[in-house]
Amino acid sequence: MKNSFIKIGVFSYFILNTLSAIGAPVPPPPENGAPPPPGAPLDERLYLLLGVGLLYAFYYYKNYHTKKASE
């Protein structure tokens, strides 16, 4: 039950984060000069996403080795 809750939570976080990045408003281009190059949708949240991924990987492997040792 706990394992499925974590998987569903992480999956829903990524889906909601993707939907919010896609639905973000785009600023209008400047009137004079070349428009700035487009940025990736995860520019500001890249470190947060990396941190969540590392924490999840640490948690997963810690539990994997604990289960394997108890068998």
pLDDT digits (tens, 9 = 90+) for 17-34: 887 877 777 777 777 777
Q: What is the pLDDT of residue 54?
A: 93
Query: Residue range 48-54: average pLDDT?
Result: 89
Give the percent of the chain with pLDDT over 90. Answer: 6
Residue 4 identity: S
pTM higher than the cut 0.85: no
Query: Which residues does 9 contact at the CB level (< 8 Å), separation at least 6?
Result: none
CA angle (1 as vertex; 63, 19 as ends), nearest 5: 90
